[in-house]
């Protein structure tokens, strides 16, 4: 069957216009020779999805459909581009964070110290304090420590808090060493893992936080309330404070810096801070406060306060304190050893300024209590053994001193002032 294509637009071209030249395809060409009309039709069919020979209106609709599909493709590619940009931004932010951390680690210890001290100074500025106010603050602080010690030295309270069998025969050598060290050894081990500058700053800020917490909790109106007259300890402390921090604003947090600076280089020093500059008294004083708080209801509040004041770095320190309290619960309070305090006895009331017993005679202490004690103000250990048995008086209890008592707060405070 023969096929005759419909006439194309070129077959019926309009009249020649002036200055133009048109040509009509010669139908006598052979089949092997290209014909312009067919070539144009082939080009039209290649330009879009429509078929050659469609009416112009249908060709326009087909072209519109193609444009819409291309526009949808462009929109889709734009969405993919936005996702790629978002992933790139996330990777860039992660890189910037790692770079800042790396730059911070590469800074010299002196530069890190200067920046940290500058931040601490902005956060610790307060109204100037008079000598009388500082005196009352220190006395109130010591008074509150004693009140906490009295609370946690109540044997009945301790039994309720740490119930357990009363059948433990004794303590091994390891436990005795732990009691001798209390918590100081673990505390020192943790601090030795820090850099020298971080070591010093951590101890400073920790002591400041504990100081501020106890002061705020024992004063009716923060930070000060009227108390008794000043004593020599507070005056010496104030003089030391004035010498060490004459150029900076007098603030509550500076009180502890004036104490700890006795064992360290001057604030802002860029030299290496060796462990000799950090006195054992500073560590032990802070450790005993944690122990006192751990045996009373103040531990949760103190933990919350220190976390807010110091940050996440205090968590390891709390772990050491909690570990000590757990060990105390399992190996002392559940045995036949006693945890008591000298404070409830009026004869042995402590001086709030010096933290020394008003009658420090060991013979008097032994006569009043009849035993040596492990307590929150003294560090000592006794063992009570019932002598009931054949040939023994019924109900008689033998008391033996395992670890001699030592006043906790006496020598640290004296050394801080006199050194």
pLDDT digits (tens, 9 = 90+) for 335-344: 444 433 333 3
pLDDT computed for residue 59 by the predictor: 82
Indicate if the pLDDT at residue 384 is higher than 60: no
Q: At what angle do helices 196-218 and 184-192 cross, to 10 degrees?
A: 140
Residue 160 vs residue 379, higher pLDDT = 160
Indicate if the pLDDT at residue 86 is higher than 50: yes
Structure tokens at 408: 């906790």
Residue 95: band (very low, low, confident or very high) from pLDDT cuts 50, 70, 90: confident
pLDDT tens string 158-215: 344 433 333 333 333 433 343 333 223 333 344 344 444 433 444 443 443 343 333 3
Task: Average the pLDDT over 133-155 and give the result.
Answer: 46
Indicate if the pLDDT at residue 69 is higher than 70: yes
Indicate if the pLDDT at residue 221 is higher than 70: no
Helix extents (H) in 312-361: 315-328
Q: Which of 68-77, 277-286, 300-309 has the lowest mean pLDDT?
A: 277-286
Structure tokens at 413: 């405070």
pLDDT computed for residue 111 by the predictor: 59
pLDDT computed for residue 243 by the predictor: 41
pLDDT computed for residue 322 by the predictor: 57
Residue 101 vs residue 98, higher pLDDT = 98
Distance, in Å, from the CA atom of 82 to the CA atom of 66, rounded to the nearest integer, reads 25
Q: Is the pTM of this model over 0.75?
A: no
Structure tokens at 252: 């509550």
Mean pLDDT of the chain: 48
Indicate if the pLDDT at residue 227 is higher than 70: no
Counting every residue written for the chain, the total comes to: 419
What secondary structure letter does DSSP report for 217?
H
What whole-number percentage of the chain has pLDDT above 90? 0
pLDDT computed for residue 387 by the predictor: 60
Residue 210 vs residue 312, higher pLDDT = 312
Q: Which of 334, 408, 128, 138 is nearest to 251 (CA)?
A: 128
Residue 168 vs residue 286, higher pLDDT = 286
pLDDT computed for residue 132 by the predictor: 59
Indicate if the pLDDT at residue 75 is higher than 80: yes
Q: What's the number of CA atoms in the CB half-sphere (13 Å) around residue 172?
A: 3
pLDDT computed for residue 133 by the predictor: 52
């Amino acid at each position: 069957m023969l096929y005759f294509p419909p006439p194309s637009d070129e077959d019926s071209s309009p009249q020649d216009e002036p200055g133009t030249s048109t040509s009509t395809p010669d139908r006598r060409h052979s089949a092997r020779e290209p014909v312009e009309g067919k070539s144009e039709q082939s080009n039209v069919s290649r330009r879009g999805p429509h078929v050659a020979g469609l009416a112009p209106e249908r060709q326009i609709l087909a072209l519109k459909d193609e444009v819409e599909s291309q526009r949808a493709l462009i929109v889709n590619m734009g969405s993919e581009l936005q996702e790629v940009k978002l992933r790139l931004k996330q990777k860039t932010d992660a890189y910037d964070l790692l770079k800042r951390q790396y730059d911070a680690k590469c800074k010299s210890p002196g530069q890190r110290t200067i920046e940290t001290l500058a931040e601490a100074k902005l956060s610790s500025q307060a109204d100037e304090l008079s000598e009388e106010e500082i005196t009352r603050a220190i006395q109130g602080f010591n008074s509150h420590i004693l009140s906490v010690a009295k609370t946690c030295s109540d044997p009945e309270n301790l039994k309720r808090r740490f119930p357990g069998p009363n059948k433990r025969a004794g303590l091994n050598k390891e436990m005795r060493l732990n009691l001798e060290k209390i918590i100081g050894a673990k505390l020192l081990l943790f601090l030795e893992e820090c850099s020298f500058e971080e070591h010093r700053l951590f101890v400073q800020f920790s002591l400041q936080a504990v100081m501020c917490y106890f002061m705020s909790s024992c004063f009716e109106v923060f930070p000060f309330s009227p108390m008794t007259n000043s004593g020599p300890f507070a005056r010496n402390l104030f003089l030391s404070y004035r010498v060490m921090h004459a150029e900076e604003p007098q603030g509550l947090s500076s009180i502890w810096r004036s104490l700890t600076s006795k064992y360290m280089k001057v604030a802002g020093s860029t030299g290496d801070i060796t462990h000799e500059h950090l006195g054992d008294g500073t560590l032990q004083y802070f450790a005993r406060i944690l122990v006192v708080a751990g045996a009373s209801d103040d531990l949760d509040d103190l933990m919350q306060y220190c976390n807010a004041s110091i940050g996440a770095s205090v968590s390891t320190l709390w772990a050491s304190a909690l570990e000590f309290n757990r060990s105390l619960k399992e190996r002392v309070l559940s045995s036949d050893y006693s945890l008591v305090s000298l404070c409830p006895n009026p004869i042995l009331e402590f001086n709030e300024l010096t933290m020394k017993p008003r009658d420090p005679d060991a013979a008097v202490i032994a006569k009043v209590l009849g035993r040596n004690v492990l307590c929150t103000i003294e560090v000592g250990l006794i063992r009570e053994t019932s002598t009931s048995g054949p040939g023994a008086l019924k109900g008689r209890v033998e008391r033996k001193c395992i670890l001699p008592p030592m006043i906790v707060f006496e020598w640290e405070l004296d050394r801080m002032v006199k050194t």
